[in-house]
Copies of this chain bind each other. A is one copy, B any other.
Amino acid sequence: MRFETARPFWRRSTVGRLLALLMLAVIGAVVNAQTVDPLPSWQDTAAKANIVAFVKAVTEPGGKDFVLAFALDRVKALAPQHPEWKNQQPFKAVLEGDMKALAETGEHGLLELVMATHAGNTSEEFARIVRDWVSTARHPKLGRPYTELVFQPMLELLAYLRANGFKTYIVSGGGIEFLRVVAEELYGVPPEQVIGSSVKTKYEVRDGEPAIVRLPEIDFIDDKAGKPVGIHKFIGKRPIMAAGNSDGDFQMLEWTTSAPGVRLGLIVHHDDAEREFAYDRKSAFGKLGRGLDEGPKRGWTIVSMKNDWRAVYPVVKR
């Protein structure tokens, strides 16, 4: 693991996490041979060969997790209505830009953030807020809209799989109602093929108008052992391929690749400090250790962003 030691902590791990891949699981099985290179941004390494071999014999996926960046911006936008946040963690840390203190509030602190920033509205209002944010927000370091920070090799992989009859899903720890707003445009994945963490909702008729109202209560955490549970709940089938980039994906990969038949497990390793970020075992968010240790023994393909990808981001014409 390499750290960019000249950068403050939050640019190293929090934002590294923001740029992390979404976890994607893919089901389906139709296979065709292809003559043109369907994965031009991938180096001709073992990772690419494993993918092509898998698709030829019988996932995945691309994306990016900007859920946390959204939550941070929402805390700032809602702060005037919540004077108490100035002295209350995890809000205090967000308002003071103290990402180290935020990390110390742990998973519980992050959940509190998500609750405070994702609940209360109707689902339609929430979707509008997300759309507005996505259309204006920019990555603090890279200065580009988040919509341009998708991984080109993963977009190619999604297209390649769909062209071969696969049905592609996003399976993320991020909020499902957040991701559904952007997944179709960014990854070609429609709302009904997005699985994520959720708050409880209730149906309510307000002034004669029915609405789905978001409640400040966790319904489901789509992470770790929750990922196979979420896939089973939403899809009702076991995937034949899954890709992830952290130990939060371990159980999904384990479940996917333990079934009989040809299966593919893929872990994208963020080891490219030049073009993206480099982090793994010691990262506060998006930690990847067990996957690196056990993955190869289980036959999973470890994708090195540095060595396996020719390009990281799409070329955007302006």
> Which A residues fall within an 8 A CB radius of B?
123, 176-177, 180, 191-192, 194, 198, 201-203, 205, 209-210, 212, 225-226, 228-229, 232-237, 251, 254-255, 258
Contact = CB atoms under 8 A, between A and B. Distances in A.
Nearest to A236: B191
A196 B226 CA distance: 19
A180 to B, nearest CB: 5
Contacts of A233: 176, 198, 201
Number of copies of this chain in the oligomer?
2
B123 A205 contact: no
Contact of A228 (B192, B210, B234): B210
A254 B210 contact: yes
Contacts of A229: 201-203, 212
B234 A177 contact: no
Nearest to A176: B236
A194 B236 CA distance: 9
Given A254-B210, A255-B210, A258-B209, A234 B192 contact: yes
A225 B205 CA distance: 10
A210 B225 CA distance: 10
Q: Tell me the dominant secondary structure on chain A's binding face.
A: helix
Counting from the closest, the 8 A-B pairs by CB-CB distance are A191-B236, A203-B225, A210-B255, A180-B236, A203-B228, A192-B235, A212-B232, A210-B258
Given A210-B254, A210-B255, A255-B210, A123 B232 contact: yes
Contacts of A225: 202-203
A205 B226 CA distance: 13
Contacts of A176: 233, 236
A90 to B, nearest CB: 27
Contacts of A251: 203, 210
A222 B225 CA distance: 24
Among A176, A209, A228, the one with the most B-chain Cβ atoms within 10 Å of its Cβ is: A228
A236 B192 contact: yes
A166 to B, nearest CB: 13
Given A123-B232, A203-B228, A212-B232, 16 more contacts: A177-B236, A180-B236, A192-B192, A192-B234, A192-B236, A192-B237, A194-B236, A198-B233, A202-B229, A203-B229, A205-B254, A209-B258, A210-B228, A210-B255, A210-B258, A212-B229
